[in-house]
Amino acid sequence: MSAHWPLAGNVYKYDLATGKKEGPFKVGDKFCGTIVGPDGNIYFEDMANGNVYVWNPKKLKTVDKMPIGKAVCGIQWTKNNKKAYITDMPTGTVYVYDWKTKKKIKEITSPEMTFIHQARMTPDGKELWVSAPNEFDPGLKPGTHKSQVIVIDTNKDEITKRIILPDNVRPHDFAFTADGKYAFLSSRTYGDDSALNIMDMKNYSIVRKVSACAECHKAAGVQVKVDKGSPLLCGIEIDWHPGK
C-alpha cells in the first residue's frame, strides 16, 4: 500500500502486514488528491504546480507527468475509461480529457464554481459530483457564492444540477452507497468542527450529520491551534465489506 506526505510532495510505501516503510520518493510539490487509476498506477494531483503525477507503485517511480491547471485537486474516470475529469481549485474549472490521447477536449466552468475541491463519479457513472464550497471568489477574494454540489452529466459534459448546501456545510469529497440511494459528504464548517453529512439522493436533503472532529477533540481536551482553530477534513473512503 502507498501513502503520501501531502505538504512535501513525497511518497512513501507502507507494508501493512509488517509496518515496513520505504521512501521518501520525491514526486511533486504539494498534493491535494491521490487515487489509484484504471491502469493500476497512482495519480497524485498537485495543488502547488497544477500537475498530475503518474506513479508506478511496483517500480516505485514517477512514470508520467501531466500539466493540467493551476492547483489541481481531484481526478475521476468514466466507467469505460474514455474520459477523465480533473478539478482545478482556484479557477473553478473541471477539465475533461480524452483518456486515450491524453488531450483536453473541454473545460467546464460556471459562475457558481469559484473555488472547488474533489469530484466523484456516481455508482452508475452517469453523473460527476463536484465539491464547490466556494470559499473564495476569483482572484482568491472572499467568497460570495453559496456552498454547493455541482452535478455534471457525463454524457453531455454539461452542468445539470446545483445542490445548494447550508453555509456551515462546505463539502470537500464524496462517497456513495452502491445502490445510489445515499451520498456521504466530508465537509468543513470553518468553525470548530468538520463533519460527515449523509444525503438522501432522492431529494438531496441532509438526513444525518456526524461530528468528525470536535466530538472527539473536546472530550479529549485537544485544542486545534492551526488554521485559525478550525479542523479541516478532506477526503473520504469507505470500506463497504460486510461486518466492517
Closest CA to 161 of 128, 134, 187: 128
Q: Does any domain span residue 85? A: no
Where in 99-138 does DSSP place strands (E)? 103-108, 119-121, 127-132, 136-137
Q: Which of 198, 153, 143, 149 is nearest to 171 (CA)?
A: 149
How confident is the model at residue 49, as a pLDDT?
96
Whether 78 and 38 have beta carbons less than 8 Å apart is answered as no
Q: What pLDDT score does 114 carry?
A: 97
Structural domains counted in the chain: 1
Q: Helices (DSSP H) in 31-152: which residue ranges?
A: none
Total H helices, total E strands in the chain = 1, 21
In the prediction, which pLDDT does 38 show? 95
Predicted local distance difference test score (pLDDT) of residue 216: 76
Q: Looking at residue 29, what is its pLDDT? A: 95
| pLDDT given for residue 243 in this prediction | 63
CB atoms within 10 A of CB 175: 16
pLDDT value of position 162: 97
Give the pLDDT of residue 15. Answer: 86
Q: Is residue 192 domain-resident? A: yes
Coil, strand, or helix at residue 22?
Answer: strand
In this prediction, the residues of the chain whose per-residue pLDDT falls under 50 are 1-2, 4
The answer to whether 216 touches 224, Cβ cutoff 8 Å, is: no
225 domain-assigned: yes
68-74-79-81 Cα dihedral, nearest 10 degrees: 20
Cell of 158: 454539461
Q: Which domain holds residue 233?
A: 167-238
Q: What is the pLDDT of residue 103?
A: 97
Considering the domain boundaries, does residue 214 fall inside one? yes
pLDDT given for residue 221 in this prediction = 78
Residue 214, pLDDT score: 67
pLDDT of residue 228: 76
Residue 7 falls within a domain, yes or no? no
**Structure-block grid coordinates of residue 4:** 503520501
Express each pLDDT in 115-134 by its tens digit: 999 999 999 999 999 999 99
The pLDDT assigned to 188 comes to 82
What is the model's pLDDT at position 76? 98
CB 107 within 8 A of CB 128: no
Does the model's pTM come out above 0.95? no
CB atoms within 10 A of CB 196: 17
